[in-house]
Amino acid sequence: MGKDKYKVRNWQDYNRGLKKRGEISLWLNKEVLAGWEDNEKGSNRGRPCVYSDLAIETCLTIRKVFNLALRQCEGFLVALFRSLKIDLPVPDYTVLCRRASQLRLNIKSLGTSSKAIDLIVDSTGLKVQGEGEWKVRKHGAAKHRTWMKLHLGLDEASQQIMFSKLTTNAVTDEQAVEELPTVIAGSIKSFTGDGAYDKTTVRKMLHTARIKQIIPPQKNAVINKSGKAFLRSRNKAIADIKLQSRKDWKIAVNYHRRSLAETAMFRYKTVIGANLQARSLINQKVEAIISCNILNKMLQLIKPQSYKVK
């Protein structure tokens, strides 16, 4: 059987929205300009900061949108301020690099409702800048290439990213979501993830938070007869799969909506890129959050409404 085919119902609006994402009409709102300089001087030890956290976040956001290096980002902002006749200093690239590690940012989900959400979680790998691919193929790598794991959780209804966590590749998927209910503001109605989340710690965490579990058990899984409450959902899934089939179980629980997470990963790597520009882990975490906030803002402009073609 071939792959299912889909068509976009709102193609004209979606087409205009995609064009709008590429429009270069830059301005800085009054809140950003008013809070550009750090006015909390003397609150911390050492030399006072010249720029506020908001100013640094704005600069780093512009850098990711236009895929600029730090030096080019500085030059871009100098030219922008000159053209807009803004009489404010621009942080140089060393300040941006140093202050990025001090930012404490959160995911800004836009246009989501206050109701309980259906959360879909998955992870993907992001490359860290290093030796070129050609050099590795031609002469071999001097050291192992490193990569990071980006864990994302998105709201099924709005497809906005609600949870983001960047870790080393040594951190497993279940370890990344252990504190999930305390990270996301508001309540979670259901949790959908692949078999990597079929772990005792995840099942226990979801049961304690009263979150519905939509996680396929492993193919060789057997019913646990210990009577533990947090394993009841898993035992029921195993029994239902044996009674019908794994495919029918996935259809019954609407497991295939997990593909939205893969779509979010594709959207991230297409719009933002598959590489991390920052070198240190703490700066890479800030870069990932800024990238997710950019995607949430872009997704708010337009979202395709697709339907399956029979």
pLDDT (tens digit, 9 = 90+) per residue, 80-108? Answer: 999 889 999 999 999 999 999 999 999 98
What's residue 125's pLDDT?
A: 94
Please name the residues in contact with 305: beta carbons below 8 A apart, sequence gap of 6 or more. 8, 9, 10, 14
Q: 273: exposed, middle or buried (C-beta count within 10 Å: 0-12, 13-18, 19+)? A: middle
Give the model's confidence band at 3: pLDDT under 50 very low, under 70 low, under 90 confident, else very high.
low
Instruction: Give span(s): CATH 3.30.420, the chain.
Output: 117-279
Report the pLDDT value the prediction gives residue 13, as an integer from 0 to 100.
81
In this structure, the strands spanning 5-8 and 306-309 are: antiparallel
Question: Once rounded to an integer, what is the mean pLDDT over residues 154-166?
Answer: 92
pLDDT for 24 equals 64
pLDDT for 19 equals 75
| CATH number belonging to domain 117-279 | 3.30.420
Length of the chain: 310
Query: How far is 29 from 226, CA to CA, in rounded Å?
Result: 59
Give mean pLDDT, residues 51-58: 94
Pairing of strands 147-155, 117-128: antiparallel
137 band by pLDDT with thresholds 50, 70 and 90: low
C-alpha triplet 300, 269, 154: angle, nearest 5° = 50
What pLDDT sits at residue 96? Answer: 95
Question: Two tokens at 276?
Answer: 């991390």
Least confident of 131-135, 168-172, 210-214, 222-226: 131-135
pLDDT of 41 higher than 60:
no
Residue closest to 99 by CA, chosen among 55, 131, 138:
55
Structure confidence at residue 138 as a pLDDT band (50, 70, 90): low
What is the pLDDT, as a whole number, of residue 180? Answer: 83
- Position with higher pLDDT, 165 vs 25: 165
> How many Å apart are CA 107 and CA 2, to the nearest integer?
38
pLDDT confidence of residue 90:
94
- Cβ-in-10-Å burial (0-12, 13-18, 19+) of 155 comes to buried
Cβ atoms of 292 and 105 within 8 Å: the answer is no
* Amino acid, single-letter form, for residue 37: E
Confidence check: pLDDT of 161 > 60: yes
11-21 and 281-301 helices cross at what angle (nearest 10)? 140
What is the model's pLDDT at position 38? 82
**274 DSSP 8-state letter:** S
Q: Are 276 and 64 in contact (CB under 8 A)?
A: no
